[in-house]
Amino acid sequence: MGADTMTRPAVLILLGPPGAGKGTQARMLQDRFGLVQLSTGDLLRAAVATGTEAGRAAQSVMAAGGLVSDEIVLAILKDRLAEPDTAKGVILDGFPRTNVQAQALDALLAQSGQQINAAISLEVDDAEMVARVAGRYTCGTCGEGYHDSYKVPAIADTCDKCGGTDMKRRADDNAATVGQRLGAYHAQTAPLIAYYEEQGTLQRIDAMGEIGQIAEGLSAIVQRAVA
């Protein structure tokens, strides 16, 4: 279904620990359903790169694998949601990550008569996550994600999608920081699974399998959620 056939802009949430595949799957859903991927991690990395006040405050927290303050994240999210392209509907990737953020999102959506269509939990084993995160990289030109073992480009170091050759690895994708990020996920973000279960919007998907298969399962969930 295209966004233009939807009565109200869809709001989808992808929940899951670092390495669960949120970014990869959000990009797929963006292409398939005409929704906009909104990654607070990407927005924060852009703020760090341009040296904004928020970026300067977030930088050391991100490097240590902690969570950036709710205040900074919510301000960045609201600015992004105010941009006209989000009227097509959004896939929130990496947001919310705390109870405060989840409640703030509900309040923000309520102001415009919107609500969450589905909060989808990508369920994975912790043990696998460190290896997944340590091997991943993205095309610096178009943002397509790759992995040393699971998703290798047809021509080494050349993006299948745009032909770019500027591959980038994230500074926080190292074993020590991934451990901290997993800890933050379990302490602060995993409890949101119960929050959305209670709200009646939770959907779970086994995200340990092959990328294409998970994408099919997710698409079916999204199709139903935005119908």
- Which are the catalytic amino acids? 22, 97, 136, 170, 181
Enumerate residues 87-146 that contact ligand AMP by CB under 6 A.
94-97, 101
Residue 59 beta carbon to ligand AMP: minimum distance, rounded to whole angstroms = 10
Q: Which of 35, 37, 213, 206 is nearest to 122 (CA)?
A: 206
Q: Which two tokens stand for residue 226?
A: 């935005």
Instruction: Give the number of other Cβ atoms within 10 Å of residue 138's Cβ.
Output: 20
Q: Min. distance of Cβ 5 from ligand AMP in angstroms?
A: 30
- Roughly how many angstroms between the first and final C-alpha of the chain, as a whole number? 8
Q: What does the alpha-carbon distance between residue 144 and residue 107 come to, in Å, rounded to a whole number?
A: 32
Q: For ligand AMP, which is the closer residue by CB, 39 or 201?
A: 39
**By CB under 6 A, what part of segment 174-213 binds ligand AMP?**
181
Structure tokens at 41: 């991690």
Nearer to ligand AMP, 27 or 181 (CB): 181
From 68, 130, 159, 178, residue interacting with ligand AMP (rule: CB under 6 A): 68
Q: How many angstroms separate the CA atoms of 79 and 53, rounded? A: 15
Q: List contacts with ligand AMP (CB under 6 A).
A: 18, 39-41, 44, 61-62, 65-68, 73, 94-97, 101, 172, 181
